[in-house]
Amino acid sequence: MPSIQYGRPRGRITRATAARAALLTAFALLLVPAAGNARPAAIGGTQASCQLEVFSWWTGGGEAAGLAKLITIWNKNNASCQFKNETVAGGAGGNAKAVLQQRLSAHKPPDSFQGHAGAELRDYIKAKQVEPIDFIYKQYKFDKVMPKSLLSQITYNGHLYSVPVNIHRANILWYNPKVLKKAGITSVPKTWSQFIAALNKAKAADVIPLSMADQWTSDHLWETVMIATIGPARWAALWKPGADWSNAGVTLALNRFKTLLSYTNSDAASLTWQDAGKLVADGKAAFNIMGDWQDGYFSGAKAGDNLGLKPKVDYGWAPVPGTAGVYDWLSDSFTLAKGAPHRSAAVKWLAFLGSKRAQDTFNPVKGSIPARQDANPKLYGPYLKWALTQWKTNRLAGSFWHGVVAPNKWHADIDTALGLFLQTKDVKRFQSALVTAAKKDAR
Amino acid sequence: MRNVRRWGPGLLLVSPSIVLIAVFVYGLIVWNIKVSFSDWRTSVPSHKWAGLAAYRDLNSDPAWSQDLHHILLFTVTFIAGTLLVGLTLAFLLEKGVRGEGFFRSVYLFPMAVSFIAAGVVWRWLMNPAPGDRATGLNVVFDKLGVGFLANQWYLGLNWGMAAMAMPAIWALSGYIMALYLAGFRGVPEDLREAARMDGASEWRVYRHVVFPHLRPVTLSALVILGHISIKVFDLIVAIGGKQLVTQTPAVYMWILIYDAQDYAKGAAIATLLLVGISALIVPYLVYTVRAERRA
């Protein structure tokens, strides 16, 4: 056995060991603050500092401005429970919904969150993530000032789960009067045949007949064509379990949709809805079918990235041909989250949202009309004044794309089927995909 | 146990990482596979066993076959393009030029740009607007007199995804160039000298001496590019958004989980992506470990 020992000397803490121990300790210490931060920030409603956590996707344009006004009023009247604005940017709430899902699954809900009134909330209701708020409606008499047809469409299993703040209309035909004049279109089309005639005239005048943007705007167009072809009563019936999507009315609507698509611009999938609207405003397109947030973009101040146009001079509007007297409605609404950390403040928030003051403060800025029927028309611009009169008398048809009639899975299945149709233009396959989706997803 | 003092401290040092990876990578992979075999198709959690239902649903989904076509076209174009461009750049630089450091950096910079930022710029470059509304590359072609080259880029029905690969090629060819440059430089100069002395032309020197040495580089480049391209997501979303015409499996998974709330089907896509990438990486790992053992 060799008398010289190679390697580490035994029985003493060498420099190497000390270095390793120090490194290990340093690494372990790094983990401690991470473990500390893992504790939830809000513990419960009994906290001394109350903060009303409201989750929405109102981060830009009129919506953010309207929300800011509501926050000012709230903070003035509720010094003890200030507003905590938890918004997530991203078109029509796509990103916000994803973030919200994570919070709800982690059982760390906000006090109140935004959602489109109607079937879009059904998944939250089924997962027991929202509370019924019939008591708020009764206490503050919202059921007396909001249209009964609206309330019946957002009631699920006999209960109401959200307070609608605004109403938007999806079935609006936007046009450029100068382009119509140039193309020889003498009157805004009211029927299907008039519409096709006008589109042909626009094509002959070398403008885009109907401007379109990326896929969801095709979904939007599809629902207006469906309502125009089969009418609001049969439209509502399609969304009930056991409905028949294979009938001739649907086939006719799908064929009309295919015809309209042939009049759209080839680069639609690369445009946003604002780009498509701008094509009409710039005189490069004759018509555009979009919800009435288009009015906010057209007439809003240039400082806010809007176009600053004059209503009825630089642009005009009419119901989508075939839908006069039908209000294809959608509504932004707020819910009462189950397990809300500050429940009483959340209830107060919902009561506030349904009040005349809140709705008449928010909506003129946002570019929509109140869900209440007692709005003060003097506060609203030209388009919205017209919309207010329409809201009083029109029959209601719930929007598909904007969450009134279809729950999430059905919504996604139809969108997928429509995406395939945009490529194949195969009406038979599209219709059978719609039939399959209805069978799978209607509940 | 006798040699604990030898491997003990090392194990202690890496044990937090091992625990974290075991839980947050492998634990969650197992949980994801479990969800893909479950009945959880709505917002209400459900952990009942449903076998291959989600996979069968995916298999019969026409959107899924679209996604597979898209990702195949994207992958082939991306890998072929990046290897070609990277090899060419390395070839140009390998004999040594003045300012080589500058060129190397310039070619490598695009890799530092996030796919989202690159996607936004390339979305503008690849604008498919026709005629007098054209912008981006289409208008450049027109001004240069090659207007017939103007096309629909990423919206093209058959070759759209090949156009989508262009920003990815731009971003990653510098990296492949660096790999190949190292590969070229790894060929001993005396081998080349010997070949030249035996009368080989410069091209034959490359073909018979240098390029065979680059095979391991090409293999690792293939694996790296392959796994990037199979799960490509941010580039697609930045350019094409959420629509079927540019959809890939990762984007469909995003739609299924957050929009449709069909968790089992989304988890099935995630599992299939994992299997696809493993099919690429595991044989490569086995090959490298064996090669190292032999060396």
Torsional class of B174: left (φ above 0), alpha (ψ -120 to 50), beta (otherwise): alpha
- pLDDT for residue A267 is more than 90: yes
- Residue B271 belongs to some domain of the structure: yes
Best B14, B24, B42 member to test A by mutation, with max A CBs in 10 Å, is B42
Inter-chain CB proximity A284 and B133 less than 8 Å = yes
Q: A50-167+330-385 and A172-328+401-441: same fold?
A: yes
Between A163 and B281, the higher pLDDT residue: A163
For residue B43, give how far its alpha carbon lies from the nearest alpha carbon of chain A (Å).
6
CA-based torsion, A262, A195, A404, A108: positive or negative: positive
Residues in chain B with CB shorter than 8 Å from the CB of A27 are 13, 16
Residue from the list B45, B155, B259 with its beta carbon closest to the beta carbon of A412: B259
Burial B135-166 (b: 16+ CB within 10 A, else e): ebbbbebbeeeeeeebbbbbbeeeebbbbbbb
CB half-sphere exposure, B189, CA atoms < 13 A: 2
Q: What is the CATH number of the domain that holds B161?
A: 1.10.3720.10
Residue from the list A27, A269, A420 with its beta carbon closest to the beta carbon of B62: A420
Q: What is the pLDDT of residues B260-288, one digit of tens each?
A: 999 999 999 999 999 999 998 899 889 88
Inter-chain CB proximity A127 and B260 less than 8 Å = no
| Helices and strands: H and E segment counts in chain B | 15, 0
For residue A360, give how far its alpha carbon lies from the nearest alpha carbon of chain B (Å).
32
- Residue B8 belongs to some domain of the structure: no
- pLDDT for residue B115 is more than 60: yes
Q: What is the pLDDT of residue A42?
A: 43
* The length of chain B, given as a count of residues: 295
Q: What is the pLDDT of residue A13?
A: 67
Residue from the list A126, A215, A270 with its beta carbon closest to the beta carbon of B244: A215
- Which residues of chain B from 165 to 204 reach within 8 Å of chain A, CB to CB? none
Distance of alpha carbon B188 from alpha carbon B180, whole angstroms: 14
User: Closest by alpha carbon to A228, among A154, A172, A293, A168?
Assistant: A172
- Which residues of chain B from 90 to 149 reach within 8 Å of chain A, CB to CB? 123, 127-130, 133
- pLDDT for residue B245 is more than 60: yes
Residue from the list B9, B42, B152 with its beta carbon closest to the beta carbon of A409: B42
Q: What is the pLDDT of residue B202?
A: 86
* The length of chain A, given as a count of residues: 443
Token code pair at residue B18: 């091992």
Token code pair at residue A191: 């029927």
Inter-chain CB proximity B133 and A23 less than 8 Å = no
Contact B104, B184 (CB under 8 A): no
What's the total number of domains in chain B? Answer: 1
Exposed, middle or buried, B203 (CB in 10 Å: 0-12/13-18/19+)? Answer: exposed
Please give the ipTM for the structure prediction. 0.89
Q: What is the pLDDT of residue A301?
A: 86
Please give the full DSSP string across B164-176, using - where no structure is assigned: HHHHHHHHHHHHH
Is residue B241 less than 8 Å (CB to CB) from chain A?
yes
Is residue B41 less than 8 Å (CB to CB) from chain A?
yes
Domain covering A172-328+401-441: architecture: 3-Layer(aba) Sandwich (3.40)
Distances (CA, A) of A125 to A128, A237, A353, B279: 5, 22, 20, 42
Q: What is the pLDDT of residue B199?
A: 87
- pLDDT for residue A31 is more than 50: yes
Nearest CA in chain B to A279: B133
Report H helices in B42-159. 53-59, 62-94, 100-108, 115-125, 137-143
Torsion of CA A336, A339, A345, A347, to 10 degrees: 30
Q: What is the pLDDT of residue A216?
A: 95
Least confident of A27-36, A321-330, B47-56, B204-213: A27-36
State the average pLDDT over residues A29-56.
61
- pLDDT for residue A15 is more than 80: no
Inter-chain CB proximity A27 and B43 less than 8 Å = no
Instruction: Count other Cβ atoms within 10 Å, centred on residue B210.
Output: 18
Residue from the list A123, A423, A433 with its beta carbon closest to the beta carbon of B245: A423
Per-residue pLDDT band at B1 (split at 50, 70, 90): low
Percentage, residues of chain B above pLDDT 90: 68
Question: Strands of A395-398's sheet, edge to edge?
Answer: A369-370, A166-169, A326-330, A395-398
Instruction: Count other Cβ atoms within 10 Å, centred on residue B40.
Output: 23
Q: What is the pLDDT of residue A178?
A: 96
- Residue B67 belongs to some domain of the structure: yes
- Residue B39 belongs to some domain of the structure: no
State the average pLDDT over residues B193-197.
90
Q: What is the pLDDT of residues A167-197, one digit of tens each?
A: 999 999 999 999 999 999 999 999 999 999 9
- CA B217 to the chain's CA centroid: 16
Least confident of A60-69, A113-122, A328-337, B249-258: A60-69
Per-residue pLDDT band at B4 (split at 50, 70, 90): confident
Q: What is the pLDDT of residues A340-395, one digit of tens each?
A: 999 999 999 999 999 999 999 999 988 999 999 999 999 999 999 999 999 989 99
Q: What is the pLDDT of residue A43?
A: 44
- Residue B24 belongs to some domain of the structure: no
- pLDDT for residue A256 is more than 90: yes
State the average pLDDT over residues A99-113.
92
Residues in chain B with CB shorter than 8 Å from the CB of A269 are 155, 240, 243, 245-246
Torsion of CA A239, B241, B229, B180, to 10 degrees: 180
Domain range holding B118?
63-294
For residue B135, give how far its alpha carbon lies from the nearest alpha carbon of chain A (Å).
12
- Residue B50 belongs to some domain of the structure: no
Is residue B70 less than 8 Å (CB to CB) from chain A?
no
Inter-chain CB proximity B258 and A98 less than 8 Å = yes
| Helices and strands: H and E segment counts in chain A | 18, 15
Q: CATH 3.40.50.261: does it fit domain A50-167+330-385?
A: no
What ranges do the domains of chain A cover?
A: 50-167+330-385, 172-328+401-441
Inter-chain CB proximity A27 and B42 less than 8 Å = no
Inter-chain CB proximity B259 and A17 less than 8 Å = no
For residue B245, give how far its alpha carbon lies from the nearest alpha carbon of chain A (Å).
7
- Residue B207 belongs to some domain of the structure: yes
Q: What is the pLDDT of residue A10?
A: 63
For residue A165, give how far its alpha carbon lies from the nearest alpha carbon of chain B (Å).
23
Token code pair at residue A171: 């079935």
Per-residue pLDDT band at A16 (split at 50, 70, 90): confident
- Residue B175 belongs to some domain of the structure: yes
Residue from the list B16, B43, B242 with its beta carbon closest to the beta carbon of A123: B43
Quote the pTM value.
0.88
For residue B81, give how far its alpha carbon lies from the nearest alpha carbon of chain A (Å).
24
